[in-house]
Structure 1
Amino acid sequence: MDIGSIISFLGTAILLTLIPGPDNLFVLAHSISNGKSSGISTTFGLCTGLLIHITAATLGISAIIYQSALAFAIVKYAGAAYLLYLAYRAFTANDTTLNVEKKGSLSFKSSYKKGVIMNLLNPKVSLFFLAFLPQFINQSYGNITYQMLMYGIIFLIQTLVIFTVISIFSEKVGYLLRKNPIISRKINIIQGSLFTLIGLKIAFSQK
């Protein structure tokens, strides 16, 4: 692995991470609704899922899922169903005033678990790594498995940094929204709508 390849990979990874997708929208929704602590713990959960996906891609497990239409469909629809369930919980939440202190107390464990489940139930993440990582592999350096794993870790670290920044700024946006009584009553609707959008996007996605 030479420095030029690493810089090229890192630049591409940052651009891909910044493009609106299921994971960063999920962090955005949690941070606006529950504060940066929830967003950051959700980020750790998502990154734990990424680590598993990276390992799976490195070992070739993702290729097996990709070749099995049934396995792919089961994971995909399970992920969509989970997100629609979260959307339902948001839409039917009794607390519509969104008191900052109360929402900020959402446990790290709860947000972390949601992040892990959300990421693991999106089969396209593993397939993404399976297609993306090999593009930067140089066979002349040998040990392809090691190279894929290292690139995966680089991707994971930059994701952790970017999602943490998103969490911090999203909390500020959420605070400003809560200061408006009309908008504050609709935060749950905004969160539920985002979860619905992500769930439907995963449900109707193709390989």
Structure 2
Amino acid sequence: MEFWSSFDSTLVFGFIVTFMALNFTPGPAVLKVVGDSLSNGIGKTHASMAGVFGANLMYALLAAGGMSALLLSFPVLFETVKWIGVAYLLYLAYGSFKAAFTSSLGKAKKQKQASAMRLFFTSFAMQGANPKSVLSFGAMLPVFAGEGDGVALRMMALAVFNIALEYPALLFYAYLGTRAHKFAVSARSGAAMDVFAGTALAGAAYMISKSTLKAN
């Protein structure tokens, strides 16, 4: 009870408003989830969502341990990670575009679904390479946690609470992707879904590539 009373209600309210706005605003995580749901359905896409949450919790842990300030002090190192993530997303987008092309020519059957482990890993890597995630959980989270004793625990509690805020947003976008996939009843429409999936992944790569560790 004493722990919960250590939260500043004004800061918690600000946290909810800020992160709800961030969660529902289409970004790399949303585009990745949409792309995965188009190809794999809403059930397996939960593994993709878990990858996003896992990366966010990783940065929250770094922030709670005081490591986020060190990361923000050496942006060159993170830029390397970022571009590796961008390249990987573009590779996944290429796979979707290739499947669309071969499908339109009647050379390929329905694209094989990814495993849950692969979806988790690719989303974890994507979100881990997203500078906005570093800023949100490395720079903003400490502000909403307040000052004084127990700040690290409050930061982690807020990070876990954000999963409850972000999950409905990602689930909503995954549902939209799944509904779009159900219209793919022919080779041509199936190819169109692959194009949409590839475009979403390429869009996520572009958004990450344009992001930096400099707060606006």
TM-score when scaled to structure 1? 0.85
Q: How much identity, in percent, do the aligned residues show? A: 24
CA-CA distance at 1:129 after TM superposition: 1.4
1:114 aligns with 2:122: yes
Q: Do 1:87 and 1:196's aligned partners in 2 also have CA atoms closer than 8 Å?
A: yes
Aligned residue type for 1:126: V
Residue 42 to residue 103, structure 1, CA distance change in 2 (3 Å): farther
Q: Is structure 2 residue 195 aligned with structure 1 residue 189?
A: yes
Q: Is the 8 A contact 1:34 1:103 kept in 2?
A: no
Structure 1 residue 113: Cα displacement: 1.8
1:145 aligns with 2:161: no
CA distance in 1, matches of 2:211, 2:113: 35
Work out the number of aligned pairs and report it.
201
| Structure 2 unmatched ranges of 5 or more | 1-6, 105-109
Match of 1:186, SS state, is helix
Residue number among 81, 88, 91 corresponding to 1:82 in the alignment? 88
1:22 alignment counterpart:
28
Q: Give the conservation status (yes or no) of the 8 Å contact 1:91–1:188.
A: yes
Q: 1:70 aligned to 69, 76, 88, which one?
A: 76
SS of equivalent to 2:103:
coil
Distance, in Å, in 2 between the alignment partners of 1:138 and 1:63 is: 16
In the aligned structure 2, how far is the partner of 1:49 from the partner of 1:160? 14
Normalised by the length of structure 2, the TM-score is 0.82
Tell me which residue corresponds to 2:177: 170
| Counterpart pick for 1:160 among 167, 170, 173 | 167
Q: Which residue of 2 aligns with 1:34?
A: 40
Q: CA deviation at 1:6?
A: 3.0
| Structure 2 CA distance for aligned equivalents of residues 96 and 31 of structure 1 | 19
Give the alignment of 1:126-145 within 5 angstroms: 126-139=134-147, 142-145=149-152
Letter of the structure 2 residue corresponding to residue 114 of structure 1:
T
DSSP-derived class of the 1:206 partner = coil
- 5+ residue gaps, structure 1, are none
Residues 76-130 of structure 1: CA deviation (Å, up to 9, x unaligned): 1111111111111112227637xxxx66854222212212221222243122212
**Distance (whole Å) between structure 1 residues aligned to residue 178 and residue 81 of structure 2:** 31
For 2:197 and 2:121, how far apart are their aligned partners in 1?
A: 18
Residue 198 of structure 1 pairs with residue 204 of structure 2? yes
Cα RMSD (Å):
2.3
Off by >6 Å, runs of 4+ in structure 1: none
